[in-house]
Chains A and B, each alone.
Chain A
Amino acid sequence: MGDIKKYAPGSVKTFTCPNCGGTIGIRAVGISITAVCQSCGSIIDIANEELNIISKAQKNTKVDLDLPLGTRGHLFGADWEVIGYTERGDLDDTFSWSEYLLFNPWQGFRFLVESDGHWTFVKMLRQEIEEVNSPEYNGKRYKLFSRDNIKVNYVLGEFYWRTKVGEKASVEDYVAPPYILSREDSGQDVIWSQGTYIRPQVIQDAFGVKEKWTPPVGIAPNQPSPVGESLSAAVIAAMVAMICLIVFQIMMVSHTKNQVLIDTTIQMLSTQKGTPQTTDEFDIPDKTGNLEIMIASPVDNNWLEVEAELVNQSTQENDQALETVEYYHGYDSDGSWAEGSQVSRDILSAVPGGKYRLLLTADAGAFIPVYGKTTPDEVARGLPVKYQLRVTRDVPDWSNFWTAFLLLIVCPSVLWLYHSSFEKRRWAESSITLSGSPTNIRKYE
């Protein structure tokens, strides 16, 4: 290229405050058009040489800023210098927040907005945004959260627009945490901007702030749910685990042998109550595996309880199963009802192979004489009860499956409950009522 002409370097430029004679330094030379005198608080129009005073001395000139003017920090891949500060709030002075104007000569301007200790990094947009209740930006839908009439309470530093204490605007906030989309209507023009929620610690680290800031209060409109990401991760993880679990269970079930070792009908008399009956010695195959003991009896509005003791004939080690079958039914005002079952199953796990006997002790409703029906003779002979006993080696076991399944549901469910309560608290702060939400956005009058 041809001659390269260099102009005066773009460092800080100073001029004299037309109100108090103090020195005002300008950082964004040639861009800033308003500056606040740090000594007297007057707001000066610096767009041209005339240096008109926009407003004289603001009341409180000394405000402790979280990020003092001139502080630099590295955020989103660029160095930012704090060059302006604005405090804005609602018209009734019930709430207010801070807006720090950041400057980088190459990247332009950004804002750091601090409200109740929550921070948002904001960029002004030069883009047409559809004026609806849920506008879209960058492929994300935003939901209308609040609509307020606001004013400027206090300014410090320099600005690339004309600013004035008391200047009003109407602001609408739309959220898609951690993002926020804001529409600001000054009455003359509409400005859209988009922000991203930033944890205070990140700001402190970026700007090298040593002092402790008071922790954030409440939930910010665009504060991401602390479990939002974990929730989706937990749901995905649980779903993957469930699929694995189901596949594993199907494989397990299809590989079970279901080998019936005993299938017999046993009759007992009430006179034998308390005395165990012994089965023939039987052989349980394989080194180890589960063993299902099933009792079935056609009890009808009655019950049967069988205690089965499995005794290893060589080691005398034993294992027990208590089987209860009870079945009741009848009619009431709601119609017919039935409860219980005529079948009872119990699975003994890890039963070593070998020679075994079962000792069976039974008690039953049928052993109790019915007054006026059972004869003393019958009692003396013994009241009978019949049941089917079936012993099966290597059956499908679903209990572990269901336990694992429930555990897999618990973690995402707890997160979801937490997440929805967080979202509820967020939207409790919204000034927009769902029912009365108007389609047209009100302009500031």
Chain B
Amino acid sequence: MQTYNCPSCGAEIKFQSSISVTCVCSSCRSLIVRKDKDVEAMGKMAELPDDISPFQIGTQGVYEGTHFGLIGRMKIGWEDGCWNEWFMYTDGGKKGWLEEAQGFLAISFEETLPDSIKKELQSPKLGHFVTIDGKPFSVADIKETECISSEGELPLVAPKGTQSTSIDLISRDGGFASVEYDKGSGSAHLYVGEYLEFNQLHFSNLRELPGWKMPLTPEPALIGNKPHG
């Protein structure tokens, strides 16, 4: 963990993950970008619009026997609403994301985007088949998106208003993949993972939702490491 002071308000800022590059100051909502040994403010982040998400920064879970913690969130908006992309702190330094959209959960990790796929999805069509990691995926959704707001740490610089084209792909066995084209920088990223049920992820430290009884989460089967603090 690294600690800095917010260049804007002076409050303490903690970077828990070494792969995080930005952080939203929890006191003044400035977007802080980490550069070498220093940090720099990049304008203010808008307040996150209210939602009924059961997650919060600090929520932990277990995926494939390994603990993860949610340390940042991006609120992505598109023509027909918005969804949450939670940045996961995990062992192994992989960039993991928990996508929470319309009641569906998906966990994915960033992978190198092969040029062939990048080219193939340049002008994407629904139902188009692409082979990712040797598995056929079909294009299920193409959305023009915008970063509405964010909180906590993120592994990428996405100020409010960052526009992207987001292509969601699904496979026959519940696999999930997503290709994001950043309209500003022109960079593209590939995320590969799967759709999961809430009960499969053994969440703890969930957000309290008034009027709803917190579900009991079964004890996870852990492999190896102890939970992160």
B114 at the A interface (CB under 8 A):
no
Interface centre among A10, A12, A103 (most CB of B within 10 A): A10
B207's partner among A6, A30, A103, A161 (CB-CB below 8 A) is: A6
Nearest opposing residue in chain A for B78, CB measure: A47
Contact with A along B47-72 (1 / 0, CB 8 A): 01111111011101000000001010
Do the beta carbons of A2 and B198 come within 8 Å of each other? no
Contacts of B138 in A (CB 8 A): 128
Nearest opposing residue in chain A for B170, CB measure: A128
Q: Could you say which of B30-38, B115-123, B154-162, B171-179 contacts chain A?
A: B171-179
B213's partner among A9, A79, A108 (CB-CB below 8 A) is: A79
B209's partner among A9, A13, A126, A128 (CB-CB below 8 A) is: A9
Given contacts A31-B81, A33-B81, A127-B195, contact A105 B209 (CB under 8 A): yes
| Assembled-state Cα–Cα distance A5/B205 (Å) | 12
Given contacts A1-B228, A5-B57, contact A108 B104 (CB under 8 A): yes
Do the beta carbons of B51 and A126 come within 8 Å of each other? no
Given contacts A3-B26, A127-B174, contact A160 B102 (CB under 8 A): yes
Do the beta carbons of A1 and B229 come within 8 Å of each other? yes
Do the beta carbons of A126 and B81 come within 8 Å of each other? no
Q: Which of B111-148 contact A (CB under 8 A)?
A: 126-127, 136-138, 140-141
B211 at the A interface (CB under 8 A):
yes
Q: Which of A1-36 contact B (CB under 8 A)?
A: 1-13, 27-31, 33
A240 at the B interface (CB under 8 A):
no
Do the beta carbons of B51 and A29 come within 8 Å of each other? yes
Contacts of B48 in A (CB 8 A): 7
Nearest opposing residue in chain B for A30, CB measure: B51
How close is A131's CB to chain B, nearest CB, in angstroms?
9
| Assembled-state Cα–Cα distance A190/B48 (Å) | 31
Given contacts A9-B208, A108-B198, A126-B104, contact A2 B53 (CB under 8 A): no
B219 at the A interface (CB under 8 A):
no
Contacts of A160 in B (CB 8 A): 81, 102-103
Do the beta carbons of A47 and B49 come within 8 Å of each other? no
Do the beta carbons of A5 and B26 come within 8 Å of each other? yes
A78 at the B interface (CB under 8 A):
yes
Contacts of A105 in B (CB 8 A): 52-54, 209, 212
Contacts of A104 in B (CB 8 A): 212
Do the beta carbons of B16 and A1 come within 8 Å of each other? yes
How close is A50's CB to chain B, nearest CB, in angstroms?
13
A345 at the B interface (CB under 8 A):
no
| Assembled-state Cα–Cα distance A4/B69 (Å) | 12
Contacts of B137 in A (CB 8 A): 128
The tally of residues in B whose CB lies under 8 Å from a CB in A reads 54
How close is B156's CB to chain A, nearest CB, in angstroms?
19
Do the beta carbons of B50 and A2 come within 8 Å of each other? no
Q: Which of A43-87 contact B (CB under 8 A)?
A: 47, 78-79
How close is A305's CB to chain B, nearest CB, in angstroms?
76
A317 at the B interface (CB under 8 A):
no
Contacts of B51 in A (CB 8 A): 7, 10, 29-31
Contacts of B53 in A (CB 8 A): 10, 30, 105
Nearest opposing residue in chain B for A108, CB measure: B103
| Assembled-state Cα–Cα distance A227/B207 (Å) | 46
Q: Which of A153-194 contact B (CB under 8 A)?
A: 160-162, 189-190
Do the beta carbons of B228 and A11 come within 8 Å of each other? no
Do the beta carbons of A109 and B102 come within 8 Å of each other? yes
How close is A125's CB to chain B, nearest CB, in angstroms?
9
Nearest opposing residue in chain B for A8, CB measure: B50
Contact with A along B197-225 (1 / 0, CB 8 A): 11000000111111111010000000000
Given contacts A108-B103, A108-B104, A127-B174, contact A30 B195 (CB under 8 A): no
B172's partner among A1, A79, A130, A161 (CB-CB below 8 A) is: A130
Do the beta carbons of A103 and B58 come within 8 Å of each other? no
Contacts of A106 in B (CB 8 A): 54, 198, 206, 215
Do the beta carbons of A2 and B102 come within 8 Å of each other? no
| Assembled-state Cα–Cα distance A133/B49 (Å) | 44
Contacts of B106 in A (CB 8 A): 126
A129 at the B interface (CB under 8 A):
yes
B82 at the A interface (CB under 8 A):
yes
Do the beta carbons of A162 and B80 come within 8 Å of each other? yes
| Assembled-state Cα–Cα distance A30/B229 (Å) | 29
Given contacts A2-B14, A47-B81, A105-B209, contact A31 B215 (CB under 8 A): no
A107 at the B interface (CB under 8 A):
yes
Contacts of A12 in B (CB 8 A): 211
| Assembled-state Cα–Cα distance A36/B103 (Å) | 20
Nearest opposing residue in chain A for B173, CB measure: A127
Q: Which 3 A-B pairs have the closest CB atoms?
A: A108-B103, A30-B51, A10-B52
Q: List 23 A-B contacts (CB under 8 A).
A: A1-B228, A2-B14, A6-B207, A7-B56, A8-B50, A10-B51, A29-B50, A30-B49, A30-B50, A30-B53, A31-B51, A33-B81, A104-B212, A105-B52, A106-B54, A106-B198, A126-B170, A127-B170, A128-B137, A129-B172, A162-B80, A189-B126, A189-B141
B residues contacting A by CB (< 8 A) are: 14, 16, 26, 48-54, 56-58, 60, 69, 71, 79-82, 102-106, 126-127, 136-138, 140-141, 151, 170-174, 176, 195, 197-198, 205-213, 215, 228-229
Q: Give 14 new A-B contacts, CB below 8 A, not counting A9-B208, A10-B209, A128-B172.
A: A1-B16, A2-B16, A5-B151, A8-B50, A12-B211, A29-B51, A30-B53, A104-B212, A107-B198, A108-B102, A128-B137, A128-B140, A162-B80, A189-B126
